[in-house]
Amino acid sequence: MNPLNLRPQQAHIVNTYAGGRLAVSAVPGSGKTQTLAALAAHLLARGMVGPDAEILVVTFTNSAVENIKARIRLALRDLGLGDDGFRVLTLHGLANAVVRERPDLAGVASDYHIDDELSSGRALSDAARWFTQQERDYWLSFLPSDLTQQQRYQLESEWFDETVRVAAEVTKLAKHLRLRPAEVRALILGAGDAGREGISPFLRIGAVIYERYDRVLRAGSRLDFDDLIWAAIRALNNDDDFCRRLGRRWPFILEDEAQDSTPLQEEILALLSREHGNWVRVGDPNQAIMTTFTASDVRFFRAFKQRSDVRAMPLTVSGRSAPEIIALANRLVDWTTRAHPEPDVWRQALSADGIIQPTPPGDPQPNPVAGRIRLQAFDSEDAEAQKVAQSAVRFVLSAPDKTCAILSPTHAFGHRILRALAEIQARHPQRALYQDQLRNAQPVRNVARVLAQAVRLCGQPTNTNALVELRSAMAEAGIGSSGDARDNRVKALLRSARPERLLFPLPDAAPPLPAGLTLREDEAREVYALAALAAHWLRASVLPVDQLILAIAQQLFTQENDLAIAHSLAASLRRYMMLHPDALLADAARELDAIAANRQRYLSSSLIEAGFRPAAGQITLTTMHKAKGLEWDRVYLTCVDEVEFPHDASGEFRGQVWYLAGHDPALEARVQLEALAGGASGWTEADLLRRARLEYIAERLRLLYVGITRARSDLFISYSRRRMERDNRLALAMREVLRDGSLARSAGWLEQTKPDTTNGADV
Amino acid sequence: MSKHYLVGHPGVGKTAALVARFTELIGSGVRPDRILVLVPQESHAQRFKSALAPARSAASAPHEERRLRRAPEIHTFFGLAQQHVSLFFPRIAPRAGFANPYREPVWMNVEAAQYLLERLMSPRMAEFEDLRMSRTRLLIQILDNLNRAATTGFPLEDLARRLASAWHGSEPRERAYRAAQDVALDFRRFCLQHTLVDFSLGMELFATHLLAADFYREYVAARYRHVLADNIEEAAPIIHDLLRLLLETSESAMLVEDDPGGFRVSLGASPQSARSLRAMCQVMPVPDPRLQPDAPDSPARFGQTLMRVIIERESRIPLRSTAVEKLYGGDVPTRYWASMVQTVADRIGTLVCSGAQAHEIAVVAPVVEDVLRFELEERLKRYGVGLRVVRPSRPLYDQPLVRALVTLARLGHPDWEQPASPQELAHALALVIAGLDVVRAQLIADAARRACGATGILALPVLDEAALWDRVGATFRGPYDALRDWLTAWVVAHRARAAPLDVFWRGLMAEVLSQPGFVQSEDAAAWLACDKLIASARAFREVFEQADLASSAGDEAFHESEMSVLGLSAKPSDGKVDVGRAYIAALAQSTLAAEYVPERAPDVSGGGVLLTPAYTYLTGEYRSRYQFWLDVNALSWHERFYQPLTHPYVLSRDWAPGRRWTDEDEQRASRDLLARVMGGLAFRCRDKIYLAASELNVAGQEERGMLARALRDL
């Protein structure tokens, strides 16, 4: 039975799986999501799920949820079934579903709130601010004393950011170890009594801020994402019957992106599948790049795969990339597992199971035929940013049907490219050349911006500009209609109108627009439609702000994601208003502005790449991290150097802070807490520090692997010979895999010393 | 012996039988005040009162007239208990442990109880560390426990033990249970110390010092010869104890049980406990004609089947009905919540156009948020159909009009130094001045801000620019000036000694807001909320005075509260607590409506389609020709409100001590409650039920609750 066009490996999994624990290692582009969807559909088709039960599909991001849902529905339709009997959730969504059902078991009441990363990040930053104000002298004593006023000002700000990082690291690890603030405190104090050599002041600072943060969250019945996972485990552990009941409701659990699950997340699924054991985990250990942001670790998925009660099946055939690019990715795996200078790295960074095989003849989605790989060294970061931008623009102009991405390992370098792109764009006003996906995923920005303008209008209804701003925000978000040509005329009309007459005309009052102005029909339609909308919201403006936002959102948005984003923004603003009872709608609008204007990082895992699809003929500018799961015809990998992709654990590291005498506060705090908690008994702190660095080296290798495997046909690799005022080299891994020149021969790879001029005219 | 116990579905005429019995008693020469009528809430009293009218007007003989002039004794369950406690207070107080039993007691409202609990709880916060809950949520649970112990009839000292013995989780909870009990006991001691009576103490005084006392037995025996009680399944066990006493002492009694019922869970409603009274009566099941085999299909029949589907979920019971229409799941699925609201509005429009009266239509949802009210109201407007919203359990502070009154209170008290922002002023003016929209109100508020300068708007300024009133409209100037003049006069009059906030509001309502030019009682529920606000402020003040809370702020017992963290500190700088400001802070913090207070039910009988939460519908005396069930996919139809420190089932009389509360109990309870709610709704519907749902809820999420699963095969 193969109605779903599955490859043999995929069909094998789908047709043979009937229960039990299964680990599927899937290489990039091997169609793991497709396989999961097909498996879910087949299990339903075979009648293996009762009427009151559902197949549970768990994944990492919200956008993946939508994607999988759509694919399962499609697969079910192919099999002639209705779309019922499955549930797709993110891990956080699952944790919420568990807690919501029995919050009492988790020690919370039904009215708990979930803090997304934006608001929990803000709460943490507030807690850190509180600490630096309470203990200002102590906190400042870490900075060098011989500073000018200007330097001090600058350093204080950097030290504050560092303090927040320390607190974030301690908070994250403490929750991962399920340590409450009081327990962390007890560990630190207990260690002192035992006469141990001093506890790192960074850990102490982190612990104080964690305690404060936790108290603030608790006082608002708030759970951050880690608390939510923890609460779900508490609920499941507290009541076996409850756990069994949910197990019966979800007799099969299919998990996507399993390499990114943290141990706590894994524990939820383990508990839910304890009784029936039907747990399919699909992941690519070589793409585990979330460990720096979460407590996930590729070791856990590998350990699962090796359990005696777990079967392992591979998905190694991929039709995504051209043979040259597959060869490069495979070589990176091969070199790392065989020859990396750090033995611990070759043991853990990349897995040889992940050798990619191209599709056999006749595959429905065959590999692109001719690929090419180019390497380019530049003299400076600016040169790299500009030349890469120019080359990419030339490409999208010459191949408007192709997709293209520039991927940067850091935001900072990404912004350099952004500036270069913006300059070129200014000379090409007729078409949009790129999409900036560096920070907020675009949908977040648009939703927040439109809502900000709508809320601002409600707060300042007498300001005529508010209507104009709302209109342009809506136009930018693609809501409502506004032709470019009459743009300025309508704008002028709105500005000159008396808002009270336009929005709330009184029966006998004067017309809203200045005398002598006549409107064309289309203009009138637009102006009055906008006025009707605005009047509607203004009538709602006396409602609590979250309800106002929901009312606005119901009329503006039809996308599931937009509505979900609006709801999360509404909840976040409700909390803000609770904390600032005197705040006004204008303040609420400013909060939304902050999100809209990219000032706040909105890295919520539920929003990353929410709904994003690469558009042909446009450059996607983003980070290598956010590129995960996506593919482009051409990919530029920038900054592929020794700074971003280190190989020597004893060398200098990114986290080290010069004004703190080379300390790496966040890492040190984390490592020490880990040691205190006995998470690594028998290890010295030096061991732990080294281990942490090795983990970092390994993760960066995987990041490089992710970057490479985003490309379908063309891969352009670049770096700068001078960076951060130092000499710089191509990342060791890249030097090694390209050393023998074979890829160069087969793919036309060439190392040039002069800037790339092969692509013709200057842009 | 004439003791009858009527039981049957809602809508089969039991209350009518009760009223008929009442008329019969009156007709047979019984003095109305010898008849005790007990009802769950005051709105139910009306039918009995109107039943008396024909007899009164028909009475010709003077002695007849004299007899009938006496008012019948119609009380709510708790109202009677409270009244009798007040009546006998001097007699029972000395034995009840009051420090000063001869002092006049002050009855405490919820805001005051919360305020006091908040202060008593502060020193014990660390003991709740294992739980992640706000202070407000904590104290709501403590309040809940106090009330549950009282209405069920067990000592506060049993709370922690009861909760702990039913808890079967692997992590320990005793510490938190114990702490919750300790705070409750502190609270009780404080009340006894200062002769304050909260709802729970009142009920406990009733149960332990009246019900068991011989003098009380003699009193009720002499006073009430006939007893009529409606909806006794909605009463708490101690009320059933009272009924047991009355069954023994009266000549005749008629008790009515609605089945399905028992929706006033937060007030300790217990159908099981009610049924224990059956043994003392002749039980008369009232058949439901709608369910006879030859009766046409009806919502009632559908309701009965749906209840079975929910309870016996394994069995495949065919669920179909011509009295039900699904407004979703057709060829074009209703994806968005807004489309669901639109669909409902359209269908209501069609119904009204084809002759249905708006007041015959009810829209019920598990929860009614502002956004639902707003969106439905706006959409119905296009059909010229009004909406009346009944949400009695909503926090006062969430009502825009209440916020407007708070803003005006700040403008009447410049010494508080809490200036109103232009936005607050604009919203307040738009709400109280008739016909004034937000934009024009904002123009006035902007002008006020300009006139006030840097201090902010502490008081309303004189605004006499012609240009301003040209833009705003001259008609609004009169009301503004009237409001300003009154506030200015108030400030002058009370400069020396501040008058209480409730007096301020009462004056404002009577002398300004009820005048022409201001919003007349268009939204009855909103004005009812204002009445409640004033009553609540007054009761709060009386508690303050009774316990001298204003000057005890610095007491050792009271710790700095975390309210200050939230910027809600009620303390002015001199250490004295201003009762008005403290009240407003407590109000802003309060998330608990006054649901424990036996209040006047919002009997909003005006026109318009009814929009109300399902529980309100079920506990009010509502009947409809058409019902719309909204969001049938929502989980909130069957989910109870979970709170780790209290438990509606474990803290009930039916719960065997020492038994554990398992997940299976939880499931059974959820199914049972959902079945009762859905059955209860269907039995109150005459012609047709419309089911509405969207794939995504208002938050953009997919839900599929127990109700959705039960309706799957419809």
Predicted pLDDT at B593: 43
Which residues, numbered 314 to 373 in chain A, qualify as contacts with chain B under a Cβ-Cβ cut-off of 8 Å? Answer: none
Q: Of B129, B473, B663, which has the smallest distance from its Cβ to A242's Cβ?
A: B663
Which residues of A are less than 8 Å from B134 in CB distance?
A: 218-221
- Do the domain assignments include residue B568? no
Burial level of A524, CB count in 10 A (0-12/13-18/19+)?
middle
B124 min Cα distance to partner chain A (Å): 14
Which residues, numbered 452 to 511 in chain A, qualify as contacts with chain B under a Cβ-Cβ cut-off of 8 Å? Answer: 458-462, 498-500, 503-504, 506, 509
**B214 in contact with A at a CB cutoff of 8 Å?**
no
pLDDT in tens, B626-639: 999 999 999 999 98
Predicted pLDDT at A296: 62
Considering the domain architecture, whether residues B370 and B416 belong to the same structural domain is answered as: no
Q: Which CATH number does the domain housing residue B330 bear?
A: 3.40.50.300
8 A C-beta contact, residue B596 and residue B117? no
- Does an H or E element contain A718, and which? strand A711-720
Which residues of A are less than 8 Å from B439 in CB distance?
A: 461-462, 499-500, 503-504, 538
DSSP of A447-514:
HHHHHHHHHHHHH-TT-HHHHHHHHHHHHHTT-S---STTHHHHHHHHHHS-HHHHHS--TTSPPSSP
Predicted pLDDT at A1: 44
What's the CA gap between A111 and A548, in Å, rounded? 20
Predicted pLDDT at B549: 78
Which residues of A are less than 8 Å from B170 in CB distance?
A: 237-238
Query: Domain ends where: B156, B184, B207?
Result: B207
Q: What are phi and psi of A750, to 5 degrees?
A: -140, 145
The domain over range A372-439+612-649+700-752 is classified in CATH as 3.40.50.300: yes
Considering the domain architecture, whether residues B390 and B446 belong to the same structural domain is answered as: no
Comparing CA positions, the residue from B80, B146, B85, B105 lying closest to residue B539 is B105
Number of domains in chain B: 4
CB burial string B158-190: b at 16+ within 10 A, e below:
ebbbbbbbbbebeeebeebbbbbbbbbbbbbeb
B312 min Cα distance to partner chain A (Å): 13
At B385, the amino acid letter reads: V
Checking if the pLDDT of B47 tops 50, the result is: yes
Q: DSSP letter at B427?
A: H
Predicted pLDDT at A573: 80
B418 min Cα distance to partner chain A (Å): 10
Low-confidence ranges of chain A (pLDDT < 50): 1, 194-195, 485, 598-610, 745-763
Predicted pLDDT at A515: 65
**B416 in contact with A at a CB cutoff of 8 Å?**
no
Q: Of A543, A558, A584, which has the smallest distance from its Cβ to B400's Cβ?
A: A543
Q: Which of A542, A543, A575, A578 best probes binding to B when mutated, by most B CB atoms within 10 angstroms?
A: A542
Supply the Cα-derived Rg of chain B in whole angstroms.
27
- Do the domain assignments include residue B517? yes
User: Are A586 and B427 an interchain contact pair (Cβ–Cβ within 8 Å)?
Assistant: no
Considering the domain architecture, whether residues B310 and B320 belong to the same structural domain is answered as: yes
At B269, the amino acid letter reads: A
Distance of CA A186 to the CA centre of its chain: 34
The three-state secondary structure class of A443 is helix
Which residues, numbered 528 to 557 in chain A, qualify as contacts with chain B under a Cβ-Cβ cut-off of 8 Å? Answer: 535-536, 538-544, 547, 550-551, 554-555
- Does an H or E element contain A164, and which? helix A149-176
Predicted pLDDT at A561: 67
B93 min Cα distance to partner chain A (Å): 37
Predicted pLDDT at B562: 30
Which residues, numbered 102 to 121 in chain A, qualify as contacts with chain B under a Cβ-Cβ cut-off of 8 Å? Answer: 102-105, 107-112
Distance of CA B266 to the CA centre of its chain: 10
Comparing CA positions, the residue from B336, B427, B345 lying closest to residue B384 is B345
- Do the domain assignments include residue B401? yes
Considering the domain architecture, whether residues B75 and B215 belong to the same structural domain is answered as: yes
Residue with tokens 């068991």: B212
Checking if the pLDDT of B68 tops 60, the result is: yes
Predicted pLDDT at B568: 31
Which region among B126-130, B545-549, B587-591 has the lowest average model confidence (pLDDT)?
A: B587-591
Considering the domain architecture, whether residues B316 and B342 belong to the same structural domain is answered as: yes
The three-state secondary structure class of B4 is strand
Considering the domain architecture, whether residues B463 and B433 belong to the same structural domain is answered as: yes
Predicted pLDDT at A487: 63
- In A, minimum Cα distance to B368 occurs at A547
Q: Which of B122, B319, B374 best probes binding to A when mutated, by most A CB atoms within 10 angstroms?
A: B374
Tokens of B128: 């709740």
Predicted pLDDT at A372: 86
User: Are A581 and B567 an interchain contact pair (Cβ–Cβ within 8 Å)?
Assistant: yes
What's the CA gap between B254 and A561, in Å, rounded? 57
- Do the domain assignments include residue B695? yes
Q: Which of B475, B631, B663, B711 best probes binding to A when mutated, by most A CB atoms within 10 angstroms?
A: B663
DSSP of B33-88:
GGEEEEESSGGGGHHHHHHHHHHHHH--SHHHHHHHHSPPEEEEHHHHHHHHHHHH
Higher pLDDT, B607 or B522: B607
Q: Of B135, B374, B437, which has the smallest distance from its Cβ to A500's Cβ?
A: B437
pLDDT in tens, B446-483: 999 999 887 888 889 999 899 999 889 889 999 999 99
Comparing CA positions, the residue from B126, A178, A213 lying closest to residue A187 is A178
**CB count in 10 Å sphere of residue A233:** 21
Checking if the pLDDT of B163 tops 60, the result is: yes
Predicted pLDDT at A606: 31
Which residues, numbered 169 to 198 in chain B, qualify as contacts with chain A under a Cβ-Cβ cut-off of 8 Å? Answer: 169-171
Q: Of B423, B446, B643, which has the smallest distance from its Cβ to A109's Cβ?
A: B643
pLDDT in tens, B327-355: 987 766 777 888 899 999 999 999 999 99
User: Are A554 and B662 an interchain contact pair (Cβ–Cβ within 8 Å)?
Assistant: no
If one looks up domain A8-100+228-317 in CATH, what number appears? 3.40.50.300
Predicted pLDDT at B597: 41
A538 min Cα distance to partner chain B (Å): 7
Q: How many cross-chain Cβ pairs, A to B, lie less than 8 Å apart? A: 185
What angle, 0 to 180 degrees and rounded to 10, lies between the N-to-C axes of helices B174-194 and B135-152? 70
Considering the domain architecture, whether residues B385 and B405 belong to the same structural domain is answered as: no
Predicted pLDDT at A424: 93
The three-state secondary structure class of A518 is coil
8 A C-beta contact, residue A316 and residue A355? yes
User: Are A540 and B698 an interchain contact pair (Cβ–Cβ within 8 Å)?
Assistant: no
Which residues, numbered 619 to 648 in chain B, qualify as contacts with chain A under a Cβ-Cβ cut-off of 8 Å? Answer: 635, 639-644
pLDDT in tens, B222-262: 999 999 999 999 999 999 999 999 999 999 999 999 999 99
B70 min Cα distance to partner chain A (Å): 47
Look at phi and psi of residue B575 and say left if phi exceeds 0, alpha if psi is from -120 to 50, else beta.
Answer: left
Which residues of A are less than 8 Å from B378 in CB distance?
A: 536, 539
What's the CA gap between A114 and A220, in Å, rounded? 10
In terms of residue numbers, what domain contains B252?
2-79+208-287
**Confidence band for B195, pLDDT divided at 50, 70 and 90:** very high
Considering the domain architecture, whether residues B525 and B422 belong to the same structural domain is answered as: yes
Tell me the C-alpha to C-alpha distance, in Å, between residue A419 and each of A389, A414, A423, B103, B222.
Answer: 9, 9, 6, 78, 92
Comparing CA positions, the residue from B175, B203, B173 lying closest to residue B96 is B203
Which residues of A are less than 8 Å from B400 in CB distance?
A: 542-543
Considering the domain architecture, whether residues B427 and B484 belong to the same structural domain is answered as: yes
Predicted pLDDT at A191: 65
- In B, minimum Cα distance to A110 occurs at B642
Q: Of B440, B567, B643, which has the smallest distance from its Cβ to A500's Cβ?
A: B440
B641 min Cα distance to partner chain A (Å): 6
Q: Give the bridge partners for A357, in sequence order.
A: A317
pLDDT in tens, A315-354: 999 999 999 999 999 999 999 988 888 877 766 788 888 8
Domain ranges for chain A, please list them: 8-100+228-317, 113-220, 372-439+612-649+700-752, 442-596
A321 min Cα distance to partner chain B (Å): 36
Which residues of B are less than 8 Å from A582 in CB distance?
A: 421, 567
Q: Give the bridge partners for B36, in sequence order.
A: B73, B227
**B437 in contact with A at a CB cutoff of 8 Å?**
yes
Considering the domain architecture, whether residues B630 and B702 belong to the same structural domain is answered as: yes
**Confidence band for B556, pLDDT divided at 50, 70 and 90:** very low
User: Are A227 and B132 an interchain contact pair (Cβ–Cβ within 8 Å)?
Assistant: yes
User: Are A101 and B696 an interchain contact pair (Cβ–Cβ within 8 Å)?
Assistant: no
Comparing CA positions, the residue from B151, B134, B141, B153 lying closest to residue B179 is B141
- In A, minimum Cα distance to B645 occurs at A104
Distance of CA B414 to the CA centre of its chain: 34
Q: Which of B131, B168, B315, B371 best probes binding to A when mutated, by most A CB atoms within 10 angstroms?
A: B371
- In B, minimum Cα distance to A498 occurs at B471
- In B, minimum Cα distance to A242 occurs at B663
Considering the domain architecture, whether residues B616 and B698 belong to the same structural domain is answered as: yes
Which residues, numbered 89 to 148 in chain B, qualify as contacts with chain A under a Cβ-Cβ cut-off of 8 Å? Answer: 129-135, 137, 141
- Do the domain assignments include residue B557? no
Considering the domain architecture, whether residues B203 and B213 belong to the same structural domain is answered as: no
pLDDT in tens, B697-706: 877 778 888 8
The torsion angle over the Cα atoms of residues B143, B144, B149 and B150, rounded to 10 degrees, is 70
